[in-house]
Structure 1
Amino acid sequence: MRSLIKYLSIIFVSIISSFIIFEIYANYRSDLFPSYGWQQNNILEKKIDKCNKNKKIGVFGDSFVEYFGSDQNNLVEILDHKFENYNLCNFGMSGDSINHYISRFVKVVESNIKLDKAIFFIYEGNDFYEFRYAKGENFQYMDLNNFKINGNNIFDYSDKFIIDRKLPFYKNLIKSTYSINFIYREIIKKYFFKKKIDHYFVKNIYSEDKYFEVNLNQAISRMEKTPLEIKELLSADILNVNFYKLALRNPNYFKEIFNPDPKLLELQKKIAIKYFNYINKKCEKYAIDCKIVIIPTDMFLFEKAKIKYQKKFMFNEQNEYGKSKIVNFLTEYYGNIYYPSNILKYSDYIKNDMHLNGKGNQNIANFTYDLFKIN
């Protein structure tokens, strides 16, 4: 009996020691586990309350701003170390788009805090998509003020479009340490709660109120042509499932974002102008030094990325390189919109994902910080 207790004690101590060693290593090399635990509670009111120091910089955007959470590889955390005399407040929210960034910005500036500067990070890959919903309409004569997607006016910046995230207790527990997260993601989720990539998976996509470039049968056919090993990666959340869903319903998405039909490009420009004029007017009203940085999508920069999006996410081929037409227009039209040309490498993006890794965030942070130094 004593031998059994001793044996079990050794096993228990070994397991705990392994967890501690892994936790220390993962904290030190968090860049190796980029998706572990970053998506935690995100309540705007609480973020506003915490943004209470003198000389504040508000940062707005989507998952590019929120990714890595409070880890040293997070874009805002890196910037916070650079702006030594300022307190940076991260108001980013994963899954948001420009109209939601503006809603959060309006809520912040109309609260009782005073921002000295504001930075908006716009992702070239999915923040200029709205024009596609105008297809099939006489959009040249449409009233832009009443442009709706999913029944919502895209220029309505009221509180109802502020999205908060409050996770249940068990998810907060899972995300609290790298060790528990590893067990959940690499064992439990991978082998016991896998998403099935099948006909029902595709039908669920088509039950959503989204823009569909192809019909359901075409999407199912594309799913069936997806290699089994890719489906396994998607099932285990190792590949970004949302981008795969986008490819199934909109396989030419990147083609249209990069180089729309001339008439649609004009609509894309009008929507963007309306957004950025509103931001700039608010910045002027509240005497905030605002800068807008467009984060390039790797699809438009690197051949390896094009192969990744075709082979792993099942998008159609997109052969053009460089700035998309909308980005080229905006950087010429506005004096406070910037694009980091020749700053990023393919290795600055997370493998099997579209987000930047720690090195990529460092490069974008350097670029952004220099904008304020120059100006």
Structure 2
Amino acid sequence: MIKNIIFATIIAITAPVCAQETTTIPTIGEMEGNFLVLNSQEYNGEKSLATIKPFNIVPTDNSSISVSGFYMNGCIDFNAEYNENTGSISIPSGIPVFDMETYMVYLYPWDSEAGEEILRPIEYKYIGNNTWECNTDLMLVAVQGEEKQTVTFSNGSRIVRCNSQSNNTSYVGSTGNQDEYIESRPSYVAINENTIDIYNILQADQYGYGVHLSGTINKDVNEVMFRYTLTGHANDGTYRMLTGCEYDAETNMPTGMSYPETSNVGMIHATIDMEKGEIAFNPMAIWAAEYDTSTGNISVNENLLYEFVKTVNVNYDINNSDVSAIEMPNIADANKEVKQINYYAIDGSKLKTPQYGSLVIKMTIYNDESRKTEKVIFKGYE
């Protein structure tokens, strides 16, 4: 069966990733372990979370660290400088990150206006709470002989220290012919009042990039409802959609999305123990899906299954998961005079007449030229 759902998380606005307030700069000896790099990319002048990649750091001497897995699985390890006085991480400009045998891929800080490499190092500045930030554009430059090709790595990037572990049991295949996968990975849990975000809860692809889930906690009953999310897409318009699901215990196969025929269709249910730092998820499935540019809807094909995620359990550090936003909404917007409002489809195309009830990106431009972008269901012009 093919079902249409209003998808509200395709543009994943960067969530707060700042753990409990601590400004103490880690010593180089403490710079060992699992981290995530959260890369944003620009969308109509606004930045949103694009990729999540787990990587590892090991100190090598009193002022340098070894970085493994920063770009993708199988990429080249490299050394970076670490300053214990400021907490900054300095990566050499043009560092090689991947050897494709016939060509090399290098990582550069990038001057987007001039369209050229910057030769000074890539600087991730420590902003407290085991979080580092780089506001410079970063570009991957592939070099083969005299030819160069560029691909954006990030339009702003953060590094966070992992504070949790995600474990899952998944199945791939048809009834009676399933392969079982028992997996584990470092992850990052951020809780801000009743909002919870989990970064790298699952692996999205063979390159090692991660999946992000965002949800709302009901503390009265210790339950969470997470929104469904995309885990990847192909150039032919086919997406991979992670949703909650119902399943047949005898066949060990999903039978459809969770909460069918309700407003919560596809939502992902979990229980949470905030005293122990434990989250247990109900079964999930990754389906094939297609995006309709004319309506803004995602059509999930429940007859085409990629993966059955039967169990997911997350254990997180309760002392390093409660967060406060680094970038809080500007409450002064309410007093600003609106200059114009534009609407865009999720693929970035500007809409002259959005369809009623469809998901759109609403961009409000104020007289002072500041902008606010938000995801809304179009209910008519204001």
Superposition TM-score tier, normalisation by shorter sequence: under 0.3
Structure with more relative contact order (C-alpha pairs < 8 Å, separation 6 or more): 1
TM-score (norm 1): 0.22
Q: Which has the higher strand share?
A: 2
Q: Which has the higher helix share?
A: 1
